[in-house]
Structure 1
């Protein structure tokens, strides 16, 4: 129980750690570097889902629970996307009022963080001890650049740096609640564990392919982003092998 709380808090607060950089920034960040960050985190999440969550779900429940869980994860993210219109954080221009666009961004990021928190909680309910720490670490690495980009967007909308930092940090706080929910659901109903792991994998794969990869290819940086994706993938594989 202590581990799931610690892992959920750590992954959630990584959003604030990324946003913290905005307090010391002068000027802006190029699209190239934003694309590199997005692609790197996509590689990290790809390795975590395909080498951590999916094998674990297969070993615990077999193919049918894996397929059902992945489909449910993708379906849930699809519903979220339809309910909350997607706005491209990285390639948007300034000049849109905060109360129209920024609130939508904050709502979208907060809702999209729910499946990530569930992923962490479900992973800690797994019988494999290191799975929870692995997924918490992967989600945390993904949350850091996300928090930075949200804070950067808010600053571009004429929000003060301190307020942008606080708001971006709070968008990740929902992961603590959803992490605990995912843990309790699967820890006390053992048969749900493979479904929960597969659900987390499906949600992560959706985010990778639908959000992170397309957004990292939006400014002509496809080759650089591809290299960054592979670097993130190898980095996470190395961590899996070491720990």
Structure 2
């Protein structure tokens, strides 16, 4: 139940961020890139401190090979989804027009894009509570909560940019937030598997997060000439998670 409760708080954080986006309506390239940089630092640090140690907890040949296979499997699955499932990227809080042509509904493309991000985040939030209410699990969950608020903000802004009414934009933001729930439940179930298998899925989740951050979030934060601001925001995200672990 801890994983489900933590997941609901993560979803709530995303909704709060979306509400902020609906209030502000616009976001500058600089702010967008700083938010993405911060989210990258938080996600990477939470993954390295909260997922990777458990994935390689048993330093023997078979568990190590299993962990390595899990990392590559997680990254490979997300890369396949990223390659073959149509979706859009963000450009300063707006969707890139060149990516929306010929693929149908822009709203659907946006939802798919966020779903790709939500898969590893949901898995991470659920799986870390497999050993109960540990300090590491709380750190990962709080990290996801912290980064979901600004992420929710940059999800809501493109909806308003389409000329959508606030109420409809909020309903879609709510749907996007609750799309994390299947990943959270899956993480809880996978964490309950026997040790070798659960270690594999810890590694799998780690690989998925690293892929999303490296292939999607960091490049998007470096597209508008604010690389330095994005980089220092990433470092800030790292420090925030490290401090949380020691509080």
TM-score, with structure 1 as normaliser: 0.90
Structure 2 SS opposite 1:59: coil
Larger deviation, residues 93-102 vs 220-229: 93-102
Partner residue, 2:183: 178
Q: 1:207 aligns with which of 204, 212, 215?
A: 212
What is the aligned partner in structure 2 of residue 120 from structure 1?
Answer: 125
| Structure-2 change in CA distance of 1:125 and 1:60 (3 Å) | farther
What is the number of equivalent residue pairs in this alignment? 240
| In structure 2, distance between residues paired with 1:112 and 1:37 | 15
The CA distance in 1 between the partners of 2:82 and 2:115, in whole Å, is 12
Q: Using the alignment, how far apart are the partners of 1:84 and 1:233 within structure 2?
A: 30
Query: Take 2:221 and 2:69, find their aligned partners in 1: how far apart are those partners?
Result: 29
Q: For each residue in 1:171-190, what CA deviation from the matched residue of structure 2 results, as whole angstroms up to 9, or x when unmatched?
A: 12122222122212331433
Offset at residue 142 of structure 1 (A) = 2.6
**Equivalents in 2 of 1:122, 1:179: separation in Å?**
8
Unaligned runs of 5+ in 1: none
Asked if residue 81 in structure 1 is aligned to residue 82 in structure 2, the reply is: yes
Calculate the TM-score normalised by the size of structure 2.
Answer: 0.88
**RMSD between superposed Cα atoms in Å:** 2.3
Is the contact between residue 82 and residue 116 of structure 2 (CA under 8 Å) also seen in structure 1?
no
Partner of 1:156 in structure 2? Answer: 161
Gaps of 5+ in 2: none
Q: Quick check: 1:122–1:186 contact (8 Å CA) kept in 2?
A: yes
